């Protein structure tokens, strides 16, 4: 039986191990095996490695499987198909073939209440999300091969989009697209604030600029990320490390929004930033909550709910958002230097170093290539 290398989390907050795992030979009908071209890491991967996302399941979160060790990290992956069982088609109903470069949405059952009635497939309890499964399942990007079970939707990658950028679209950018769908129409007189300057925040900024809002503000850190934000068109940025007082940050937002607060806030940092995001909203604003992390319960000032802010929380993304993300990278590459979001490149045996750097905010979007350091 053929084998491949995979980086495996065996203990939280600890170095990863390199395992040799079997490559799937008996594929399920309508499934595919693919060779990993590039995987990118995001905050969720770092949180999983740190042991912050071990809760899930039950009536409240039936679509989230608790993370347990061992697992192969990486849920942002661009691959080349090497084997298929059955005739597979991409999202646009074009036939797929061996050699096609793709990303794939999470498979779901297709016949439950969330799949058929509400059409919210990300909430399906049979959702197969990537980046936290047993090594034998080959459902993580930090490996040489990736298995794609049936009922996922493939998006073909155009030549002008690199594998690393395509991988980043498979989580960060597609989630942002989902967020903008929840937001609804946005108009040219509105001020938009982004909290968080990681990949979610930077992509939220790019889409906001593309939509033509009046002003885009960003609060985040460190300076390297804020530099990218400025180059991508942020009208004003505030370094969170330098302005640690919440009252001062709130005043900064008021000063840039005619004293009202932001019309739209994208919370792209973490769950504990949600109370601040609510405070930064003007009365009657809209708040999109994308940055989610584990941890203790969050306290809110109950008076903030008198502001009549409409809050939408976004989890993962539908297949159409994967398509929108790749299309955005392909068609807006002249407006935005998307490669600036990619930071260090690591081989499989250095995946642990990449996760640690991500957790310490020393990386924006590290790239994992399926090789072993010489």
Residues 226-240: pLDDT tens digits? 999 999 999 999 999
pLDDT band at 66 (very low <50, low <70, confident <90, very high): confident
158-187 as b/e, with b when 16 or more CB fall inside 10 Å? eeebbbbbbbbbbbbbbbbbbbbbebeebe
Q: pLDDT higher for 286 or 44?
A: 286
Over residues 284-308, the mean pLDDT reads 89
Q: Could you tell me which of 198, 64, 190 has the C-alpha nearest to residue 131?
A: 64
**Domain residues of the chain, as ranges?**
3-174+317-369, 175-313
Class of domain 3-174+317-369: alpha beta
pLDDT band at 344 (very low <50, low <70, confident <90, very high): very high
Pick from 159-173, 249-263, 293-307, 316-330: least confident: 293-307
pLDDT band at 1 (very low <50, low <70, confident <90, very high): low
Query: What was the pLDDT predicted at 366?
Result: 96
Query: What was the pLDDT predicted at 374?
Result: 64
Give the whole-angstrom CA distance, residue 103 versus residue 110: 19
Beta bridge partner(s), residue 175: none
Which H/E stretch holds residue 237? strand 236-239
If one counts every other C-beta atom within 10 angstroms of the C-beta of residue 35, the result is: 17
Query: What was the pLDDT predicted at 361?
Result: 85
Query: What was the pLDDT predicted at 4?
Result: 96
Query: What was the pLDDT predicted at 61?
Result: 84
Residues 27-36: pLDDT tens digits? 999 999 999 9
What is the SS3 assignment for 102? strand
The answer to whether residue 20 scores a pLDDT higher than 70 is yes
Is pTM, for the whole model, over 0.75? yes
Class of domain 175-313: alpha beta
Q: Could you tell me which of 309, 305, 277, 282 has the C-alpha nearest to residue 292?
A: 277
The answer to whether residue 165 scores a pLDDT higher than 80 is yes
Give the whole-angstrom CA distance, residue 72 versus residue 69: 9
Mean pLDDT across the chain, nearest whole number?
94
The answer to whether residue 161 scores a pLDDT higher than 80 is yes
Residues 190-215: pLDDT tens digits? 999 999 999 999 999 999 999 999 99
Those residues whose C-beta lies under 8 Å from the C-beta of residue 38, and which sit 6 or more positions away, are 77, 78, 162, 163, 164, 166, 167, 367, 368, 369
Give the whole-angstrom CA distance, residue 36 versus residue 78: 6
Tell me which residue has tokens 């390297």: 224
Query: What was the pLDDT predicted at 205?
Result: 98
Helix, strand and coil in the chain, % to nearest 5: 30, 25, 45
Identify whether 222 is preceded by a cis peptide bond (ω within 30 of 0): yes
The answer to whether residue 327 scores a pLDDT higher than 80 is yes
Give the whole-angstrom CA distance, residue 103 versus residue 113: 26
Query: What was the pLDDT predicted at 367?
Result: 97
Query: What was the pLDDT predicted at 283?
Result: 97
Residues 70-122: pLDDT tens digits? 999 999 999 999 999 999 999 999 999 999 999 999 999 999 999 999 999 99
């Amino acid at each position: 039986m053929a084998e491949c290398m995979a980086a495996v989390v065996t203990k939280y907050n600890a170095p990863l191990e390199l395992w040799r795992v079997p490559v799937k030979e008996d594929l399920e009908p309508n499934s595919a095996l693919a060779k990993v071209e590039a995987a990118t890491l995001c905050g969720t991967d770092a949180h999983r490695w740190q042991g912050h996302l071990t809760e899930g399941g039950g009536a409240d979160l039936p679509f989230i499987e608790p993370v347990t060790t061992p697992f192969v990290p990486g849920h942002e992956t661009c691959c080349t198909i090497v084997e298929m069982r059955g005739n597979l088609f991409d999202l646009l109903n074009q036939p797929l073939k061996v050699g096609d470069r793709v990303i794939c949405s999470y498979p779901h059952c297709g016949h439950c209440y969330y799949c058929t009635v509400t059409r919210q497939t990300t909430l399906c309890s049979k959702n197969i999300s990537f980046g936290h499964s047993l090594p034998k399942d080959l459902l993580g990007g930090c490996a040489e091969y990736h298995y794609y079970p049936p009922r996922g939707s493939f998006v073909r990658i155009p030549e002008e989009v690199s594998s690393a950028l395509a991988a980043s679209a498979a989580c960060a950018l597609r989630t942002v697209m989902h967020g903008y769908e929840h937001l609804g129409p946005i108009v040219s007189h509105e001020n938009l604030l982004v909290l968080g300057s990681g990949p979610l925040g930077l992509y939220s900024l790019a889409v906001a600029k593309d939509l033509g809002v009046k002003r885009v503000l960003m609060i985040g850190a460190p300076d390297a990320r804020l530099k990218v934000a400025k180059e991508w068109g942020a009208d004003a940025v505030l370094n969170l490390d330098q302005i640690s007082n919440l009252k001062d940050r709130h005043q900064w937002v008021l000063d840039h929004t005619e004293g009202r607060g932001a019309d739209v806030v994208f919370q792209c940092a973490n769950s504990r930033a949600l109370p601040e995001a609510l405070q930064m909203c003007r009365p009657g604003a809209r708040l999109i909550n994308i940055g989610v992390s584990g941890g203790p319960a969050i306290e809110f000032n109950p008076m903030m709910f008198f502001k009549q802010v409409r809050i939408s929380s976004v989890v993962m993304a539908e297949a159409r958002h994967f398509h929108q993300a790749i299309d955005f990278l392909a068609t807006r590459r002249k407006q935005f230097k998307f490669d600036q979001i990619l930071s260090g490149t690591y081989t499989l045996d250095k995946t642990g170093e990449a996760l640690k750097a991500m957790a310490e905010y020393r990386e924006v979007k590290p790239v994992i290539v399926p090789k072993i350091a010489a």
